[in-house]
Amino acid sequence: MIELVDVSFSYDKNSYLEDISVSFEKEDITTIIGPNGCGKSTLLKLSSRILAPKNGKVLLYGQDISEMKRKAFAREVSVLMQNNLSPPMTVENAVLSGRYPYQAFGQLLSKEDKAIAEEAMKVTCCDSFRGKEMNRLSGGERQRVFLAMVLAQDTDIIFLDEPTTYLDINVCYDIMELIARLNREFGKTIILVLHDLNLALNYSHKMILMEKGKIISRDTPQNMAIGGSIGKVFGVSIKQVSNEGRSFFYYNKIT
């Protein structure tokens, strides 16, 4: 569905990601993991056209994404990056702005646009605070609204960079359940960056492990868990335990 072919990228004169070739499969939840600074967000930005590769290309259904028109791309792919600034508007208007890729210049929102935004607020449980200004929300509420904006955009592919950061454990699981539901019930293809290995293990179909700008491994969570690569890359020893149908990692720092 989305394929990176021999992609290289650098922020300055040193190459950062070099010759990355990887594909994200349709209707999978794919989680990118790896230590701080290994290039996870950069990979996400290159895949979602926020950054352009220095060499190589990114294909969406075989088409080079750099050649797609902005609105056409935004009807296929939505992105939620880290540290989003709150737009100076109410929750409801922020969610409605997710419909922008479907509006012709000067056109008003249609009944359908409003119904889709309404549903997005319902699914993410933001409808109860729809009249609040975005800058008056808690971190968890704001994250739900950003997810509602992504939902209102109604794309088949969703990129999420650390969607659970700063959230308490309860909200974290709510957000991950919502992501799983979007995938299961609406067939969304979801590619996300997570630091929490246990969330990654339990909610992903595929995991991609990165280290120093390279992809070290791409596998199912089950295979990733029993292979030794995660422990090596993070410098920890890992044990996997299962309880009530879920798997968990225990890890200890190797000294």
Q: Is 37 in the site for ligand ATP (CB under 6 A)?
A: yes
176 to 235, contacts with ligand ATP by CB under 6 A? none
Candidate list 14, 36, 107, 255; residue touching ligand ATP; CB under 6 A: 36
Q: Is 40 in the site for ligand ATP (CB under 6 A)?
A: yes
Q: Is 167 in the site for ligand ATP (CB under 6 A)?
A: no
Candidate list 15, 41, 103, 217; residue touching ligand ATP; CB under 6 A: 41
CA distances from 255 to 34, 213, 252 (A): 19, 25, 9
Taking the least distance from each CB to ligand ATP, the nearer of 129 and 234 is: 234
Choices 33-41, 72-80, 224-232, 247-255 (CB under 6 A): range interacting with ligand ATP:
33-41
Candidate list 2, 31, 34, 141; residue touching ligand ATP; CB under 6 A: 34
Taking the least distance from each CB to ligand ATP, the nearer of 38 and 121 is: 38
| Gap between the Cα atoms of 196 and 26, Å rounded | 23
Q: In sequence order, what are the residues at sequence separation of 6 or more whose Cβ sits closer than 8 angstroms to the Cβ of residue 5?
A: 21, 56, 57, 58, 59
User: Is residue 36 a contact partner of residue 212, using CB atoms and an 8 Å limit?
Assistant: no
Q: In sequence order, what are the residues at sequence separation of 6 or more whose Cβ sits closer than 8 angstroms to the Cβ of residue 229?
A: 209, 216, 217
DSSP state, 136? G
User: Is residue 7 a contact partner of residue 20, using CB atoms and an 8 Å limit?
Assistant: yes
Candidate list 6, 11, 72, 187; residue touching ligand ATP; CB under 6 A: 11
Taking the least distance from each CB to ligand ATP, the nearer of 42 and 153 is: 42
| Burial grade of 131 (CB within 10 A; 0-12, 13-18, 19 or more) | exposed
Count of residues near ligand ATP by CB under 6 A: 10
| Gap between the Cα atoms of 139 and 220, Å rounded | 31
Taking the least distance from each CB to ligand ATP, the nearer of 41 and 63 is: 41
Candidate list 5, 8, 15, 16; residue touching ligand ATP; CB under 6 A: 16
| Gap between the Cα atoms of 94 and 89, Å rounded | 6
Choices 18-26, 39-47, 59-67, 180-188 (CB under 6 A): range interacting with ligand ATP:
39-47
